[in-house]
Amino acid sequence: MHWLNLTNLIVFVHVAVSAGLVLFILLHAGRGGGLSDMFGGGMSGGLSGSTAMERNLDRLTIIMGCVFGVTTVLLALRLK
């Protein structure tokens, strides 16, 4: 049996995406600011809305969440 089969590939992607998802969620600014303030997210005032970095972080988090959901379903179907 070859070590690189489809299930191992899905598990690898699932673990990588879950680690990235944790990182992206930690980067989000909460009520008192978050780690994204370290990278320039806290430069704008509170009334100016979200910055481009925050919008991109939101998009990346949503994409990672969708990939996480898809890999979860794929693993559930493969390991059934």
64 occurs within a structural domain = yes
Q: Tell me how many domains the chain contains.
A: 1
- Residue 63 banded pLDDT, cuts 50, 70, 90: very high
61 occurs within a structural domain = yes
Q: What is the pLDDT of residues 18-42, one digit of tens each?
A: 999 999 999 887 665 555 556 665 5
Our CA angle for 62, 64, 66, nearest 5°, is 70
38 occurs within a structural domain = no
SS3 80: coil
27 occurs within a structural domain = no
37 occurs within a structural domain = no
13 occurs within a structural domain = yes
Range of the domain at 67: 9-21+51-74
Global confidence as pTM: 0.72
Residues 6+ apart with CB under 8 A from 66: none
Average pLDDT score over residue span 65-80: 94
34 occurs within a structural domain = no
